[in-house]
């Protein structure tokens, strides 16, 4: 039987968010080359919000081909400081450069979610969190990265808010789910409205 709800993601965090909310769903990783999709968008001047939406839609579309009857959830997140969109650091030197570029500034986490059914987008949404990093010295950044190690390379901002990364911040505006990369409250409201989950 075709599942009624499919998450187009390999992310254990997004899977856990849906499972913890009590949703019955199947998860299937989307086969999408994110960098190849992002490059022309960024070169054409697309905003970080538009990039997040385009990636979420591409992921949903890729998986929806395999589940034509299902409601497919695609999601993605961009991290931006002004027009600059960040990507996961390639090494510890780049992680340090990321953190120092964010020092004393407010950056945005733009979390997009798209619902697709029968090859058509039925809903799209973006939630943004504003993250203010306290002023950081190069010496502190070096010590911080030595403590957290390779985990710094696993996230686009080179920090994990649920771990020692919380020490980098002065202020955070936005909900926890947006920060994790899946705006759960608007998503659950839409799923209830569509009759996909118990209302």
> CA–CA separation, 10 vs 27, rounded Å?
7
Half-sphere exposure in the Cβ direction for 4 (13 Å, CA): 8
Of 76, 91, 170, 198, the active-site residue reads 76
Strand-pair category, 169-173 with 71-81: unpaired
The whole-angstrom separation of Cα 131 and Cα 163 is 15
Residue 76 among the catalytic residues = yes
Task: Name the 3-class secondary structure at 186.
Answer: helix
Which residues on neighbouring strands pair with residue 85, listed in sequence order?
80
Helices (H) and strands (E) in the chain — how many of each?
A: 7, 7
Rounded CA-CA distance 27/147 in Å is 33
Question: What residues are annotated to the active site?
Answer: 76
């Amino acid at each position: 039987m075709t599942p009624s709800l499919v998450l187009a993601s390999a992310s254990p965090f997004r899977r856990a968010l849906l499972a913890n909310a009590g949703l019955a769903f199947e998860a299937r990783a989307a086969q999408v080359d994110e960098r190849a999709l992002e490059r022309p968008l960024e070169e054409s001047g697309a905003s970080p919000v538009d990039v997040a939406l385009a990636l979420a839609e591409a992921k949903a579309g890729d998986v929806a081909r395999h589940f034509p009857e299902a409601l497919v959830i695609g999601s993605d997140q961009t991290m931006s400081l002004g027009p600059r969109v960040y990507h996961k650091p390639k090494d510890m030197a780049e992680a340090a450069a990321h953190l120092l570029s964010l020092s004393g500034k407010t950056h945005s986490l733009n979390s997009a979610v798209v619902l697709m059914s029968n090859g058509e987008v039925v809903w799209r949404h973006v939630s943004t969190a504003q993250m203010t990093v306290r002023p950081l010295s190069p010496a502190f950044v070096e010590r911080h990265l030595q403590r957290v190690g390779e985990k710094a390379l696993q996230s686009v901002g080179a920090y994990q808010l649920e771990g020692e990364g919380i020490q980098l911040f002065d202020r955070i505006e936005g909900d926890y789910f947006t920060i994790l990369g899946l705006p759960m409250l608007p998503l659950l409201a839409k799923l209830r409205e569509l009759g996909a989950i118990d209302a």
